[in-house]
Amino acid sequence: MKLELPAVPRSNGELVFQSPWESRAFGLAVALAESGALEWDDFRVQLVRAIEDRDPTQPYNYYEYWLNALEQALVTTGVVDTRALLASVKSVLDHPEH
Amino acid sequence: MTDEAELRARVKALEALLVERGLIGTDTVDRIVEVYESEIGPLLGARVVAHAWTNPDFKQRLLADATAACWELDIGGLQGEKLVAVENTPEVHNVVVCTLCSCYPWPVLGIPPNWYKSPEYRARMVAEPRVVLAEDFGVVLGEDVEIRVQDSSAEMRYFTVPQRPAGTEDWDEERLAGIVTRESMVGVAVL
């Protein structure tokens, strides 16, 4: 059974993401959960930890914790290793046009 | 705070690595972001609420097992495995929070707004819900109305079925869906 979509606005005019990298970080976690490469609960455990461990004197930056958690979850579960991750970051920084 | 440029580089590097390893496609993230930004959002929850308002049998099924009931309307997916719908009544007002992180019923409400993820909302709504509802959201409830703060988790992702406003008795489902807001389904607004 499927209802017709009602004619309500799709957006309420609010920015859900403050900058494009936030939406990429969001999309990466969802993509890996959808494909089964990452268990959502493994990610969520890291997200809770990243939020708890934040520096309370710094501005709250949710997607920074999200990214920390995603990297940590992928390393912990062995999907990627820290060395490959750091090498990739270095490659991006060395070739900013990529 | 970590530098924005560093965060941008880390996200880009992670995506590049995952594409290289064949774990995601080159356009996977684009597709997901597009879907979540344009198709999955509170309008889906609004359809569920309007359907519940007009179909008592569906409302019963929704309150008993929201995940299954939402699937009847083809609504479900990631973060929608353990949906719990709670009904607001003249006696009981439910409001939803996630004290640990930001658990949120994505399939019916989309991506959570910034205020929902903020440490202030997460802490204060639990400590003094009546004050937060009144001062931060302008929802002043009578002293006789019981407020229940529903703490979402990976096991239970709450959303509320707001009270149907008076004067909408002859409205059809589509028109009703048009007045159901995200805030009303989190419980920080009344209609």
Report the alpha-carbon distance of residue A11 to residue B158 in Å, rounded: 22
Looking at residue B155, what is its pLDDT?
82
As a whole number, mean pLDDT of residues B158-164 equals 97
Q: Looking at B103, B118, B152, B153, which residue is catalytic?
A: B103
pLDDT in tens, B36-77: 888 888 999 999 999 999 999 999 999 999 999 999 999 998
pLDDT at residue B153, rounded to an integer: 86
Marked catalytic residue, from B38, B70, B101, B152? B101
User: What is the pLDDT, as a whole number, of residue A42?
Assistant: 92
Per-residue pLDDT band for B118 (boundaries 50, 70, 90) equals confident
Instruction: Return d(Cα A88, Cα B9) in angstroms, integer.
Output: 9
Alpha carbon of A54: minimum distance to chain B alpha carbons (Å): 10
Contact A21 B32 (CB under 8 A): no
Q: Do A28 and B73 touch (CB under 8 A)?
A: no
> What is the DSSP annotation of B109-152?
H-SPPHHHHSHHHHHHHHH-HHHHHHHHH-----TTSEEEEEE-
Least confident span in B36-40, B86-90, B97-101: B36-40
Q: Does B46 touch chain A (CB under 8 A)?
A: yes
Asked if pLDDT for residue A79 goes beyond 60, the answer is yes
How near does any CA of chain A get to the CA of B1, in Å?
Answer: 6
Could you identify the residue written with the tokens 């991006």?
A: A92
Domains of chain B (ranges; CATH) run 4-36 (no CATH), 42-186 (3.90.330.10)
Q: Where in chain A are the domains?
A: 39-94
- How far CA A14 is from CA of A5, B112, B184, B191, in Å, comes to 21, 11, 16, 20
Q: In chain A, whose CA is at the least distance from the CA of B177?
A: A6
- Which range among A33-42, A59-68, B30-39 shows the weakest confidence by mean pLDDT? B30-39
Q: What is the average per-residue pLDDT within B111-115?
A: 86
Higher pLDDT, B172 or A16: B172
CB contact under 8 A, A8 and B50: no
How is residue A68 written in tokens? 């920390």
Query: Regarding predicted confidence, which is higher, B177 or A8?
Result: B177
Find all residues with CB under 8 Å of A12, minimum gap 6, and list them: B42, B181, B182
Chain A CB contacts of B15 below 8 Å: 24, 28
What does the pLDDT read at residue A96?
64
**How many pairs of residues across A and B have Cβ atoms under 8 Å apart?**
151
| pLDDT above 70 as % of chain A | 82
Partner A contacted by B122 (CB < 8 A): no
**Whole-number pLDDT of residue B38:** 80
Q: Does A39 touch chain B (CB under 8 A)?
A: no
Distance from CA of A24 to the nearest CA of B (A): 6
Q: In the predicted model, what is the mean pLDDT of chain B?
A: 93
Query: Among B112, B27, B79, B119, which Cα is nearest to A17's?
Result: B112
What is the pLDDT at residue A93?
87
Rounded percentage of chain B residues whose pLDDT exceeds 90: 75
Residue A1 has pLDDT above 50, yes or no: no
DSSP letters for A40-60: HHHHHHHHHHHHHTS-TTSPP
- Catalytic annotation present for B70: no
With bands split at pLDDT 50, 70 and 90, how would you rate the model's confidence at A5? very low
Tell me: pLDDT of A7 over 70. no
Residue among B24, B61, B101 with most chain A CBs within 10 A, to mutate: B101
Residue A42 touches chain B, beta carbons under 8 Å: no
- The values of phi and psi at residue A81, to 5°, are -115, 160
- Kindly report the CA angle at B110 between A12 and B112, in degrees rounded to 5? 80
| Res A58 pLDDT > 90 | no
What's the gap between Cα B92 and its chain centre? 19
